[in-house]
Structure 1
Amino acid sequence: MQDRAAEATHLMAAMAGGDRQALSRLIVLYGPGLQRYAAQMLPRPDEAEDVAQEVFLRAWRHAGRYDPARAAVSTWLYRIATNLCIDRSRRTGFRRFLGLEAAPEAPTDTPGPHRQLEGRQRLAATRAALRQLPPRQRQALVLRAAGELSTAEIAATLGVTPGAAEQLLVRGRAALRLMLEPDHGDDDD
């Protein structure tokens, strides 16, 4: 993790100098995680790629303003992604409220072998449970899972203390377990 953070800081400095190769490398380092994060945070997961692209476009434009003393590159990028996701969610909700946009349809996967079907059902249940969590708990869990951020990076991204970030993770995991395994608590009988 340290090597990745040091490389990312170096890449930001190179980008500030106009190095496009540095941007390409930064995309390789953080693009997949940012896209997974956005897919979980947006009402329409198909917009995740657009959000990830916008994150890197903003990073390119504002690379000179990045201050490594204030935040890790990962924290800075995920904060941009979080803000973009919030903005898109608000716009989508407002457009839907006005009737300008139809509600997204549930994905229809063609059933495959039994295990694939079970996996898809489990994934769908997990996504549905995630969407029921309070927004901060959901953000913390998705930053950990999709973004592979540490508790300190999650805290910085969400603007909370590391202790508060840890509590968001603990409470979010506990709530997910209750939603996904409701019989789990009855084993004590």
Structure 2
Amino acid sequence: MSPTDAELLRRSKRDPDAFVAVYDRWAADVQAWLAARCGDAVVATDLTAETFAQALRHAGRFRDETDGSAGPWLFGIASNLLHRYWRRQKVDVSARRKLGMRLTPWVEDHAEEVAERLAVEGAGRLLHAALNRLPPEQREAIALRVLEGLGYDEIALRLAVSEQAARSRVSRGLKSLRTEMEGRV
């Protein structure tokens, strides 16, 4: 009789092959579940990898509540990662809209797309110049929020300020950018 997931996870700290067995049992199901929910095979693959990376890192936290199966635990990790992915996507799309940036990837080899890209690149240069004119604390807060997709709590920690100060810096910076960019693009 083969060992349960719970037994394998207990052994995984001293026997890496034990975790490989858990991975082999569950990876395809986790990836299919993620792909069905996010609709993107590449994202599902990345999230599956992160699911198992977290499971390996936290194998000692596993509590056997389902007769030795790690399935509910793994799907819980995958679900949390998927929610975090969607949250970051929402932040990214919102920030791109506020900054007037393109929301969809570039389509190559189309004349109108090239013309649009050149226009956007021109706006990008204006935006870059406008960003450089912002006070450094606002510029850094915007970079953490928009480019790195961090939450305000994480920005506050990185900048050693309160969460309200982090929100204020991002808000003021975006307002300044929007005001400066209006009429120029």
TM-score under structure 1 normalisation?
0.47
Q: Higher relative contact order at CA 8 Å, sep ≥6: structure 1 or structure 2?
A: 1
Q: Who wins on radius of gyration, i.e. which is larger?
A: 2
TM-score, scaled relative to structure 2: 0.48
